[in-house]
Structure 1
C-alpha cells in the first residue's frame, strides 16, 4: 500500500523534538514527504512557523500516546516514524506497537534500558513478521558508542578476539526531559532488572564487561569511571548481530581530568540516586525542571563531544579512533543524529534487517557517512603496528 509520507516526526513540540524539526527543515532533501505529529495541533503550528519558508506547507497530524487509533493511523501513513516523546517507558510503547503492526520503521532517542528490553519482549517478533525496523537510541544514547565501536572494529583484523574501550569527554547541559528520564530510570530500577532478566533469557548477547568499581587510567592519562548506561548493551547486540569476532569485549568510561573530578562525579550520582529513590525528594527535583525546557542556543553551541576508542586485537594490532562533534552532545548533536538516522532509514539502500535492531546493524557504514558529512566526524587518530 502506498503511504502518504516518507517520514513523520512525532513530538516536535518538545525541546529535542523542536531541534530535530529545525534540523530536518534545513537539511531534508527536496521532495521529501514529511510531516509533524503530536497531540496539540496548535503547538505544532507554532513549531512549523519557526521552520521557515521551506516548511510553510508542512502537514500537521494529530497523534496521542493515549489514543491507539490515532497512533495506528500515524504508523500506517508513513515509511518511518521518529519519536521524541519521553520518558519512553511512560509514553513510548503504544507507538512502537503501532509501528511493529504496520510494518513501519521507527527511531527514537531513548536511553532507558527497561523500555528497550520491554519493547523487544512485546514487539520484536511482530516487527520481524511485518518487516519493521525498530531502532532505539538514535542520539547521544547510543550512536557514538555503537557506531564508534563499529568504526573501530573495521580498523582491526577479523577472526581474532577484540577488545574495544570507549572514553567519553563531553561538555553540555541537561534538559528537563533528560532529567525526568534519568530520575525515572533510577526509581524504576526493580522493574528494569526484571525486564533485563527476561530479555537475557530470550536473547542472550555478549559483549558488555562488568562495571569496575574503582577508577582506572585512560591511555592518554585521564582518570575514568565506568558509565552504567544503555550503550554497552547496544554495542553487545551489534557485536552479536554483525560478528565482531570471537571473544569480543567492550568497556565504556567517562574520562575526567583529575581524582577530584572523579569524586565530584561519584557524589553527584549518589545524590541523584538518593533523591530519585525517595518520593518527596524526587518530586521536588523534577519540579525544578519544567517540561520542554533545555539549554539555550548559546549553551548548545558552546558544548562539544569527544569519544575516543581504544581497539586491541589478540594478534597485537592496536588502533585509537575518535567520534567528535563541536556541538552540544545531548541536544544539537542528538538532533543531527536522530535526523540523519531517520533519513537514512527512509531514503537509503540498507542491509535487510527487521525487528528490534541497532543503528550499527541497520545502517552501519551509510549512517557513518551521513553523520560525518553533517559534522559528527569519525577518525582514526593513531595506528600501532602488530606486536611481535
Structure 2
C-alpha cells in the first residue's frame, strides 16, 4: 500500500455531505500534511467549483471517476489506500466501487444504512476482500458509529470494572437535534422499492442477525409501541435508526469473537420523558412511525413522498443548523446478578451532517494511521470490530464526541 498516490480519496465530493467531508479534512489535516487526500467525482469542473466554494486550497488534487465507467473506478481504487464514499443510495450506486476496492485491496468506508444491501454484499465480497486484504467498512456515519462504539465502550469498561461483559444493553437516545438526511431518505425509498420487488429483502430487514451470515442468535427485545422504561426512568418510543444500528452491533460482537456473549440482547429506543407529557410524546411518536410505515408500504405514497416530502439527495441544513445540532445517547448495561453500568456518547454537531462528516473522515484516517493491516486483515468489517478503542480515541480527540461512564 506504500505505493498508493493518496491516503484518502473522497468520492462524491461535490455532494452535500461530500463537501462537508472535504471541508473537514482540509480544516483538520490541511494539504501536504500527515494525510494526503483528493476530491473525486464525475466532473472536474464541478469539483473545482466546489473546492473554491468551500475555500479549499487549489493544491488539493482531483480524481475524475464515474460509477457508470468501471475503468475509472478501478483506477481510483488503485490510487488510494482508502476510498471514502458518500455516493448513495448504495444499493443503487455502491456495488461497482465496492467491487473495485475488494479487487484492488483498497480499504473502503461509507455511510450505508441499508441493511438488506449490506447483507448481500457481505456474502458476495467477504472472501475476495479477505484474499486482497481490502478492509470494507460500512456504516461509518451517525448510523452506526456512536451506537456501535457506545456498546463497545460500555462493555470494555464493564470488563475492566466488573470482570465480565453485560449480557443485556439498552441503547436510549436521550436528546437529539438534527434534520433528516436527504441521502437517508433516498436510501429508505430505495429499500422499500427493493422490498416490493423481492420479498427476501423483507427477511433481511426484519432479522436482527442478517449481517451475521448463518447466525440466528437469541430472540431480541423489540416493540413498536410506547413503553415506560424503568431503567431509563422515561417513556420511550421506537427509534427510526434502530433497524440498522442493532444489526451492526450484533455483527461487531460476532466479528470480535462474541465478547458481549453469545446470548447478548440489545435494543434501541428514543426517550420522551417521564410523567404524562412523556407518555403523550411517546404514544404520538409511536403512532406517527406506525402510520409512516403503513403509508410507505403503498407504492403511490412512496412516489409522492419522494417527489414532495422527503428531502432530496444533495440537500441539507444550513451551517447554523449543523452547528447547533447535537445528540446524547445513553447505554444501560445489566446482568442477572443485579450489576448495572451506564455509559453515554455525546456529539457536538447535528447527527446527519455535521457529526457524520467528521465520523466517516476519522474512520478513514484511522484505517490509514492507526490500524495495522497485519492484525486487522481483509474482509467486511464494522467500525467497532475494525477500529474499536483507537477510533474512540480519535473521535474524542478530533471529532467532538464524548464517551463517559455515568456513575
Q: Which residue of 1 aligns with 2:201?
A: 192
**Superposition RMSD on alpha carbons, in Å?**
2.2
- Larger deviation, residues 342-351 vs 165-174: 342-351
1:145 paired residue among 136, 144, 147: 147
> 1:143 Cα deviation (Å)?
0.5
1:338 CA displacement: 0.5
How far is 1:191 from its partner? 4.5
1:212 aligns with 2:228: no
State the distance in 2 between where 1:215 and 1:361 align.
32
Deviation at 1:195, TM superposition (A): 5.0
Distance 2:177 2:104 in 1: 40
| TM-score, with length taken from structure 1 | 0.91
- Cα shift at 1:141: 0.5
Shift in Å at residue 64 of structure 1? Answer: 1.2
**What is the aligned counterpart of 1:341 among 363, 367, 372?**
363
Of the three residues 262, 265, 270, the one matched with 2:282 is 262
Secondary structure of 1:225's match?
Answer: strand
Q: 5+ unaligned residues in a row in structure 2: which ranges? A: none
| Larger deviation, residues 208-217 vs 63-72 | 208-217
How far is 1:225 from its partner?
A: 2.5
Q: 2:253 maps to what in 1?
A: 239
Are residue 36 (structure 1) and residue 39 (structure 2) matched? yes
Distance 1:349 1:20 in 2: 21
Contact map agreement 1:214 1:225 (CA 8 A) in 2:
yes
Instruction: Please give the alpha-carbon distance, in whole angstroms, between the structure 1 residues aligned to 2:211 and 2:106.
Output: 26
Tell me the CA shift for residue 106 of structure 1: 0.4
CA contact (8 A) 1:325 1:333 kept: yes
The superposition leaves residues 14-64 of structure 1 with CA deviations (integer Å, 9 ceiling, x where unpaired) of 1111111111111126142211111122221122113435x3211111111
Checking the alignment, whether the CA contact within 8 Å between 1:186 and 1:273 is kept in structure 2 is no
Is 372-381 or 187-196 further displaced after alignment? 187-196
SS in 1 for 2:68: coil
What displacement does 1:290 show? 3.5
Q: Which runs of 5+ in 1 are unaligned?
A: 383-388
User: Residue 223 of structure 1 corresponds to which residue in structure 2?
Assistant: 235
1:162 aligns with 2:167: yes
Residue 379 (structure 1) aligned with residue 391 (structure 2): no
Q: 1:238, 1:360 within 8 Å by CA — same for their partners in 2?
A: yes
Does the 8 A contact of 1:16 with 1:84 survive in 2?
yes
**Maintained 8 Å contact 1:25/1:51:** no
- Paired with 1:114 and 1:220, the residues of 2 have a C-alpha distance of 31
The 2-side partners of 1:186 and 1:210 are apart by 24
Match of 2:102 in 1: 100
Shift of 1:187: 3.2
Distance 2:218 2:143 in 1: 17
Q: Cα gap change, 1:151/1:233 in structure 2, threshold over 3 Å: closer, same or farther?
A: same
What SS does the aligned partner of 1:165 have?
strand
Q: How many residues align?
A: 381
1:309-328 deviation per Cα after TM superposition (whole angstroms, max 9, x unaligned): 00113443321110001210
1:322-364 Cα distance to aligned partner (Å, 9 max, x none): 0001210111011110011011111213442320111111100
Give the equivalent residue in structure 1 for 2:268: 252
The answer to whether the Cα contact below 8 Å between 2:177 and 2:326 also exists between their aligned partners in 1 is yes
Aligned to 1:229, what secondary structure does the other structure show?
helix
Spell out structure 1 runs of 4+ moving beyond 6 A: none
Alignment partner of 1:318 out of 340, 345, 349: 340
Deviates further, 229-238 or 286-295: 286-295
Kindly state the Cα deviation for residue 237 of structure 1 after the two structures are TM-superposed: 1.2
Give CA-to-partner distance per residue, 1:275-295, whole Å, 9 cap, x none.
433333222211233331111
8 A Cα contact 1:206 1:237, kept in partner:
no
